[in-house]
Structure 1
Amino acid sequence: MESYILDWANLLLRWLHVITAIAWVGSSFYFVFLDSSLTPPVDEDLKKQGVSGELWAVHGGGFYHPVKFAVSPPKLPDHLHWFFWESYTTWLSGFALLTVSYLWNANIYLVNPANPIMSSNMAIVAALAFLVVFWLLYDGICRIFGQKPNGDAIVGGLVLVLVCIAAYLACHIFPGQAAFLLMGAMIATSMSANVFFWIIPGQRTVVADLKAGKPVDPIHGKRGKQRSVHNTYFTLPVLFAMLSNHYGWLHSHPQNWLVLILMMFAGAAIRQFFVMRHGYKLGRNPHPWKYAAVGVAVLIGTAIWLKPAPQPAPAAANIAPVGQVVMQGEQAAAPAAA
């Protein structure tokens, strides 16, 4: 009965997790596209209101005209939609699914039977530590270097190193499938923590200041935007890791940690291409083809590296042709008949 209940819990949680993840990723992709596609307003009234960019779009038979205010609108509307439940529900359902699928059966999925370096309880603690420690280190990097000159490049380089170290450790502590999944859960936890600890609190501060008639500090918008951009680069690597149970030939490879790093790097590079592509179409960025080329080259190189070794052809059996066998049989039968 316990197995049956867990199967249903797994099914329903996975269903919920996928649905909410689609909503979260979709809204993230849309707003990154929107920011990259905004053009300076033409209407003088919009300029007077403080609009910094606008976009005209058509979808589903209707025309849309979203605008963005650089810091804050002149008047706060009565109905303001907040984008955070997509993130929270995705993380909560994902953590529940991780608990039901892996933590509940840690002795099967988190402990490597070939090299049991830790007990089930220790494996659970180690898995949870990956989620927490990575967030603390990543958040510390953003706090220290995020606002410095060339801060984005410094943060990007340090986070890449941090992900590489985490991938190496995870693949040497846990079985390959669990290691890949935990890496996805680790980064996804930081994505949702960005929303919970930085993006939403900053927006709440801005709204509170507007209601109180106080001047709005633009730092909240800058920090929120920075973490939002980080989340969009994390998306494709996380999606790859979360689907890792379908990639048996990858997570079971002897150098699975390197495979994981290469695949995540390729995903981030391809995502960079799409982020910059919108700005390129408006003449703001040089053509970002090199990012797509790097991502595709890494994918092709990884596929060639992992190509199975050719199997030797089976040795041909020393069997005489059918006609020769028949003739030999007739010759043997002839003396007997005589």
Structure 2
Amino acid sequence: MKNAMLMLIESLAKFGLDKLERALLFGAALVVVLALVTGTVKLDHNWFSFLFRWLHVISGVMWIGLLWYFNFVQIPSMPKIPDEQKPAIGKVIAPTALFWFRWAALVTLVTGLVVAAMNGYIVRAMTLGIVGDGPSRDLYIGIGMWLGIVMAFNVWHIIWPNQKIALGLVEADAEAKKAAARTAMLTSRFNTMFSIPMLYFMVAAQNVG
């Protein structure tokens, strides 16, 4: 099994699998083929609702994955990295990670609101079930949505502006950079804290009550 998988990977490498854009293109082609073969494409309201939910999940994985990368890997590792190597993190890795991080947050938010609107529960969820008959799933998904909205707000209005200062993308003195880095880090920690109940209530809305 292992050898067969390695042979498949090596075969695909001939078509440029070593390039990220090719891997994404192959993945997109594969899902289209499998979706058509299995008959999951219906082109009706339910399918388009599912499509946006799928995009919501994909962008959410990117967003929370990068949030946890920053908090579980990059931030704790920075004190262990020699000073002469730190510019590679600040000038290359961090700006790229922050690009995908902030746009994934926005896409997650937008696709989530689209799903809620398409399925007719956006008002009930945003009011935590107060408007309407108030079933428990509206309360659960509403809590998850509000936590996500606060997190996305933090990404665009606190973390990213302060990271631009801390990384030197905006002119600032050393003290301002230090203060901005601390603010961005603490807000990232806040979002990590929020991500735990956010994910709990997002899943609870589908499985509890």
Gaps of at least 5 residues in structure 2 are 1-42
- The structure 1 segments of at least 4 consecutive aligned residues displaced by more than 4 Å after TM superposition are none
Q: Secondary structure at the match of 1:243?
A: helix
Alignment of 1:101 onto 2:131: no
For 2:44, the equivalent position in structure 1 comes to 5
The C-alpha deviation readout for 1:71-122, integer Å capped at 9, x for no partner, is xx6xx56x94223111111111111111111347xxxxxxxxxxxxxxxxxx
For 1:183, the equivalent position in structure 2 comes to 143
Aligned with residue 173 of structure 2, among 211, 215, 219: 215
For 2:188, the equivalent position in structure 1 comes to 228
Contact 1:184-1:242 within 8 A present in 2 as well? yes
Higher helix share goes to which structure?
A: 2
Deviation at 1:9, TM superposition (A): 2.0
Spell out the pairing of 1:40-189 with structure 2 (5 A cutoff): 40-42=80-82, 46=84, 51=86, 80-81=95-96, 82=99, 83-103=101-121, 124=123, 127-128=125-126, 130=127, 170=128, 174-189=134-149
TM-score (norm 1): 0.41
Q: Secondary structure at the match of 2:44?
A: helix
CA distance in 2, matches of 1:100, 1:29: 30
TM-score (norm 2): 0.64
Counterpart amino acid of residue 25 in structure 1? I
CA distance in 2, matches of 1:205, 1:229: 18
For 1:113, the equivalent position in structure 2 comes to none
Contact 1:87-1:192 within 8 A present in 2 as well? yes
More deviation in 32-41 or 80-89? Answer: 32-41
Q: Secondary structure at the match of 2:80?
A: coil
CA distance in 2, matches of 1:23, 1:230: 18
The C-alpha deviation readout for 1:16-41, integer Å capped at 9, x for no partner, is 01111111111111111122244434
* Change in 2 beyond 3 A, CA 1:224/1:40: same
Alignment of 1:15 onto 2:54: yes
For 1:28, the equivalent position in structure 2 comes to 67
CA distance in 2, matches of 1:38, 1:175: 46
The CA RMSD measured in Å over matched residues stands at 2.9
Structure with bigger RCO (C-alpha 8 Å, 6+ apart): 2
Gaps of at least 5 residues in structure 1 are 52-65, 105-123, 131-169, 252-338
Counterpart amino acid of residue 163 in structure 2? Q
CA distance in 2, matches of 1:188, 1:6: 25
Identity of aligned residues (%): 24
Contact 1:20-1:89 within 8 A present in 2 as well? yes
Deviation at 1:247, TM superposition (A): 2.6
Deviation at 1:219, TM superposition (A): 1.9
